[in-house]
Amino acid sequence: MSLARHLDPIVAIATAPGRGAVGIVRVSGRGLVALGQTLTGATLQPRRAHYGPFLAADGQPIDHGLALYFPAPHSYTGEDVLELQAHGGPVVLQLLLARCLEVGTHLGMRLAEPGEFTQRAFLNDKLDLAQAEAVADLIDASTEAAARSASRSLAGAFSHEIDALAERIVTLRMLVEATLDFPEEEIDFLEAADARGKLAAIQAAVAGVLARARQGALLREGLRVVLAGQPNVGKSSLLNALAGAELAIVTPIAGTTRDRVSETIQIEGVPIHITDTAGLRDDADASDEVERIGVARSWESIASADAIVFLHDLTRWDDPDYQAADAVIAQRLGVADPARLLQVFNKADSGRPLPPGRDGLCLSARTGEGLEALRHALLARAGWQAAPEGVFIARTRHVQALRLTAEHLAQAADHAAQADAALDLFAEELRLAHQALQQITGKFSADDLLGEIFGRFCIGK
């Protein structure tokens, strides 16, 4: 998205595609009073709903509905905004959209790009970047907890914490940089001002926000879990049990699952994206080409998973061939990343105990025994803690920016602790920490980052 075009008037259908009771066409730009008058045949009063016809070029009504006019700067984008609320038929909305473009030709009006309305709100200081991202996160929220957290971020909870941290860093920067003009007194001055104590307090505060941001990122992005194991160990049954629905076909025939089957559930508000995969066994033993492809896709899913549930069959544990095949799979999974592995033993309803010397969870996908323990284990593997009410939605880039801030503050602490008190380096690390922190709210952001962020929004928002 080009920032050079942000002065053009823009228009888009702001409601989802398809038929509905109401559809909205949204316009943003400068000098929309005349546009509203041409479209409605009336002078629109600010922030008051006007009911009447939406007029075509020949004066005939395209539809009847509500027109709302929000003059700048008191609007979502900070520009003049006109909203036409009509019946939600695709043809009606397309006619209204075409009419807006026709009337706005002399203004240079064009179709809005994805996220451009919210981008203008950011550029016009109606929202900071974290709040703007929260708009998309609120729309995309897949759980109630994620929606509530996104709403808090949109209201500014996350931004306020970041701004407060930034202000504390700036205050310390001013203190340190001021002493650079008085080198003969700098060490005593900083000691008297407790600069290192202030820095330690800032580091602790950043660590706290980082921990909550990790929780917020997990609420937004969820945890990708893959069910892996040999054929017929109960992976599909476990998926169905966790989802509470018959999503995957379950039969006693090995190799029933030929391709990946995915479902998203929520545990304590955290989205868990579970993928059931084809049973793992040597390609040479696979019965046909379809299953070989399925096994290859299983390994692809395993490679990108956040957590791997390695499922074992208690009823076959005494079979030497089964154990040998399990050992081959375990070796390959362990090489991938042992920290992601969760050992789970299925068919506990058979009465078989956990094999000697083995650690893991015992459960029964058929009866539901042990499922709650598995749910808690998955949350623990993700690093989730019971969410306090103040958790805000966050993204991976926010977490990375906070980590970078913490790293620069740690470097600053090292310089401050040196006997010769390298204050120039101390000040530089504080500046870099401040700069990293400001990336979150967009006060220090490259244009390509903005294009990447807003390009993922839906058109009309």
- Rounded-to-integer distance, Cα 307 and Cα 395, Å: 19
Is 256 labeled as ligand-binding? Answer: yes
Distance of CA 35 to the CA centre of its chain: 37
Phi first, then psi: give them for residue 387, nearest 5 degrees: -75, 120
Q: Are 27 and 82 in contact, with CB atoms under 8 Å apart?
A: yes
Is 251 labeled as ligand-binding? Answer: yes
Is 198 labeled as ligand-binding? Answer: no
Is 452 labeled as ligand-binding? Answer: no
Is 348 labeled as ligand-binding? Answer: yes
Strand order in the sheet with 61-70: 50-55, 61-70, 80-88, 20-29, 10-13, 110-111
CB atoms within 10 A of CB 105: 10
Instruction: Give residues with Cβ within 8 angstroms of 324, minimum separation 6.
Output: none
Is 236 labeled as ligand-binding? Answer: yes
Question: Within a 13 Å sphere around the CA of 439, how many CA atoms are in the beta-carbon half?
Answer: 22
Is 145 labeled as ligand-binding? Answer: no
Is 388 labeled as ligand-binding? Answer: no
Alpha-carbon distances of 258 from 254, 278, 288, 289, 316, rounded to whole Å: 10, 5, 10, 10, 22
Alpha-carbon distances of 138 from 178, 355, 400, rounded to whole Å: 43, 46, 21
Is 56 labeled as ligand-binding? Answer: no
Is 315 labeled as ligand-binding? Answer: no
Unique residue bearing structure tokens 């969870």: 361
**Is the bond preceding residue 73 a cis peptide, omega within 30 degrees?**
yes
Is 26 labeled as ligand-binding? Answer: yes
Is 276 labeled as ligand-binding? Answer: yes
Is 278 labeled as ligand-binding? Answer: yes
Is 240 labeled as ligand-binding? Answer: no
Is 88 labeled as ligand-binding? Answer: no
Instruction: Give residues with Cβ within 8 angstroms of 351, minimum separation 6.
Output: none
Give the closest residue to 9 by CA, choosing from 122, 78, 110.
110
Is 254 labeled as ligand-binding? Answer: yes
Name the CA dihedral angle for 241, 246, 248, 249, rounded to a multiple of 10 degrees.
Answer: 120
Ramachandran quadrant class, 460 (left: phi over 0; alpha: psi -120 to 50; beta: rest): left
Distance of CA 413 to the CA centre of its chain: 32
Is 164 labeled as ligand-binding? Answer: no
Is 436 labeled as ligand-binding? Answer: no
CB atoms within 10 A of CB 148: 18
Is 253 labeled as ligand-binding? Answer: yes
Is 304 labeled as ligand-binding? Answer: no
Annotated binding site for K(+): 232, 251, 253, 256
Annotated binding site for (6S)-5-formyl-5,6,7,8-tetrahydrofolate: 26, 83, 126, 461
Annotated binding site for GTP: 232-237, 251-257, 276-279, 346-349, 364-366
Annotated binding site for Mg(2+): 236, 257
Annotated binding site: 26, 83, 126, 232-237, 251-257, 276-279, 346-349, 364-366, 461
